[in-house]
């Protein structure tokens, strides 16, 4: 297999090398996607379907699904945004610690190894009205009874889901941000300190521009993960409106067979939205980066 003058493989050669692993994955994913799209149009269903080709998509215009769409977008945006903000600040704080102390910060990785369902149960234990925080608020006199504790879970605004994702996703941001910060010359920060720059100024003018490519990628990953995840919204989310993933699950498994094309139509639109979001966000971030470099 030949290489170019720089020693790098061409795109075709790289794809050929990856084909033994990539082809089965592409076939499974592509086959599943093609089946979902076909069934959303009433084709390839294992039962007689009397609706038209676009009947399933017309079902998605029902009013209560608009609430599910808004809730899913809000939860994904809030959880990903807060995780990126908290994770980048925490990574900077850890990076500034002496090497002897940095090894003790490994505890921040604990949520990474917890399965999402365990994070959901932790949210119930700590945030519900019969949980740890409500009991603590009652014993120190902040509320008259544990039932008076604010409804964080099942409050209709996705607060429990957002907090659970914040706990789960922030370590992921810290991990990738720390890897990027370790490639940054500490002399830049020391020089800024010599000119009496504040910590906020250093973070805004040196740290954030260095972390920007990583944070853009992490935000896309976390946004789409929160937008399409099922387990945590199923445990600590509202029943109505529910997250789109929960709505798709209910349509497919808890309703009649005639609702399965609607579930497939919903999943197809979620996939198309995810692809469109990646393209639009990547282009927007690239243009903003080019403008900043020109300034």
Q: Do residues 232 and 116 lie in contact, with contact meaning Cβ atoms separated by under 8 Å?
A: yes
Computed over every residue of the chain, the mean pLDDT equals: 87
Tokens 């409500």 appear where? 134
In whole angstroms, give the CA distance from residue 182 to residue 204: 17
Asked, for residue 44, whether it belongs to a domain, the answer is no
Tokens 């704080």 appear where? 93
Asked, for residue 2, whether it belongs to a domain, the answer is no
How many structural domains comprise the chain? 1
Identify whether 241 is preceded by a cis peptide bond (ω within 30 of 0).
yes
CB atoms within 10 A of CB 258: 16
pLDDT, tens digit (0-9, with 9 covering 90-100), for 111-164: 999 999 999 999 999 988 888 998 899 888 888 887 788 888 887 788 899 999
pLDDT in the model for residue 168: 93
CB atoms within 10 A of CB 86: 16
Asked, for residue 20, whether it belongs to a domain, the answer is no
pLDDT, tens digit (0-9, with 9 covering 90-100), for 197-237: 888 899 888 999 999 999 999 999 999 999 999 989 998 88
Q: Reduce the DSSP state of residue 268 to 3 states and report it.
A: helix
Tokens 């692809």 appear where? 275
Q: Do residues 244 and 69 lie in contact, with contact meaning Cβ atoms separated by under 8 Å?
A: yes
Asked, for residue 232, whether it belongs to a domain, the answer is yes
Asked, for residue 193, whether it belongs to a domain, the answer is yes
The closest alpha carbon to 226, from 44, 88, 73, belongs to 73
CA angle, residues 180, 183, 186, in degrees to nearest 5:
115
Output the CA–CA distances (angstroms, integers) from residue 278 to 218, 273, 275, in the order listed: 12, 9, 5
CA angle, residues 124, 130, 136, in degrees to nearest 5:
100
Give me the phi and psi of 154, to 5 degrees please: 60, 30
Q: Do residues 90 and 170 lie in contact, with contact meaning Cβ atoms separated by under 8 Å?
A: yes
Mark residue 148 as left, alpha or beta (left: phi above 0; alpha: psi -120 to 50; beta: remaining). Answer: alpha
pLDDT in the model for residue 174: 95
Give me the phi and psi of 140, to 5 degrees please: -95, 5
The closest alpha carbon to 73, from 284, 228, 232, 218, belongs to 228
CB atoms within 10 A of CB 104: 9
Q: Do residues 49 and 38 lie in contact, with contact meaning Cβ atoms separated by under 8 Å?
A: no
Q: Do residues 231 and 216 lie in contact, with contact meaning Cβ atoms separated by under 8 Å?
A: no
Which of 175 and 145 is assigned the larger pLDDT?
175
Asked, for residue 166, whether it belongs to a domain, the answer is yes
pLDDT, tens digit (0-9, with 9 covering 90-100), for 4-52: 555 667 777 787 888 887 888 888 889 999 999 999 998 888 888 887 8
What stretch of H or E contains 172? helix 159-181
In CATH, what number is assigned to the domain containing residue 67?
Answer: 1.10.3720.10
Asked, for residue 267, whether it belongs to a domain, the answer is no
Asked, for residue 263, whether it belongs to a domain, the answer is no
Band (pLDDT 50/70/90 cuts) for residue 273 is very high
What is the CA 121 to chain-centroid distance, rounded? 19
Q: Provide the domain limits for residue 100.
A: 61-241
Q: What is the mean pLDDT of residues 87-104?
A: 89
Q: What is the mean pLDDT of residues 262-271?
A: 94
pLDDT in the model for residue 131: 86
């Amino acid at each position: 297999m030949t290489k170019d003058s720089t020693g790098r493989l061409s795109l075709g050669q790289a794809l050929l090398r990856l084909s033994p692993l990539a082809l089965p994955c592409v076939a499974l994913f592509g086959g599943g996607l093609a089946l979902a799209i076909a069934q959303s149009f009433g084709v390839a269903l294992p039962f007689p379907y009397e609706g038209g080709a676009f009947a399933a998509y017309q079902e998605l215009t029902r009013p209560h699904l608009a609430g599910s769409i808004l809730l899913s977008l809000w939860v994904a945006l809030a959880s990903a945004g807060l995780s990126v903000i908290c994770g980048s600040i925490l990574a900077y704080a850890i990076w500034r610690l002496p090497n002897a102390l940095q090894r003790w910060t490994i505890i921040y990785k604990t949520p990474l190894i917890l399965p999402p369902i365990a994070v959901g149960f932790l949210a119930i234990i700590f945030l519900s009205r019969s949980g740890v925080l409500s009991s603590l608020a009652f014993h120190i006199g902040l509320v008259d009874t544990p039932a008076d504790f604010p409804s964080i879970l099942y409050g209709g605004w996705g607060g429990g889901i957002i907090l659970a994702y914040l706990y789960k996703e922030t370590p992921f941001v810290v991990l990738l941000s720390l890897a990027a910060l370790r490639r940054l010359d500490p002399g830049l920060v020391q020089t800024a300190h010599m000119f009496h720059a504040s910590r906020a100024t250093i973070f805004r003018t040196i740290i954030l521009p260095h972390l920007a490519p990583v944070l853009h990628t992490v935000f896309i990953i976390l946004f789409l993960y929160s937008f399409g995840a099922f387990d945590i919204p199923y445990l600590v989310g509202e029943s109505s409106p529910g997250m789109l993933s929960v709505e798709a699950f209910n349509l497919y498994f808890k309703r009649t067979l005639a609702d399965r094309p609607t579930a497939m139509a919903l999943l197809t639109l979620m996939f198309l939205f995810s692809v469109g979001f990646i393209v639009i966000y990547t282009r927007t971030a690239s243009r903003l980066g080019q403008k900043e470099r020109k300034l």
